[in-house]
Each structure stands twice: as structure tokens, then as C-alpha cells.
Structure 1
Amino acid sequence: MEAGSTYCWVTSISERGWYNMSTYETLSLMIAFGVLIVMITGTKK
């Protein structure tokens, strides 16, 4: 997943509003944050 596409995806969600997010979008966002945290903690070791 490229940074550009991720930015567009987040922007589109922000424009529609966080309250209008579907379960799939919420799940995808949680997974994305989870992967990001794992990557950050992995590089720090």
C-alpha cells in the first residue's frame, strides 16, 4: 500500500465524516494502525 493511496483513502473518509464510516472501514483502519505500530516497534529493536 503506497503512502499516496493511503492519504487519499484517509482524506475521503474524513470528508464523509468519521460517524459515517462502515464496519469494514473501521476494521481496515484498526488493522492499518496495528501494522504501523508493529513496524515502528520492530525498527526500534
Structure 2
Amino acid sequence: MARQTLPQNGPLAGVPLVVKGAGGFQVRPATEVGRLLRRAPL
């Protein structure tokens, strides 16, 4: 299964919201998504 991301023209473009962990697929916590967005080049 492909990594799920929001559309490329959206504010979360390229930030995967679902990640595969040791226990299977998990939704990425909002705090982690926010941290990734702050680091992302705009």
C-alpha cells in the first residue's frame, strides 16, 4: 500500500498522515504533523 498524503497543493502537501509502525499503520499525531510542517521548506 502506498504512503498516504494530502494533495500536493494543500497546506499539508507531502506530510504523510498515516505511518507504518511496528504494530501496523498508525495515524501520525497532530503535534508531530505540526513539527514537520514547521521544518518543511515553503
Could you state the TM-score of these two structures normalised by the residue count of structure 2?
Answer: 0.32
Point out the structure with the larger strand share.
2
* Bigger RCO of structures 1 and 2 (CA < 8 A, at least 6 apart): 2
Could you state the TM-score of these two structures normalised by the residue count of structure 1?
Answer: 0.31
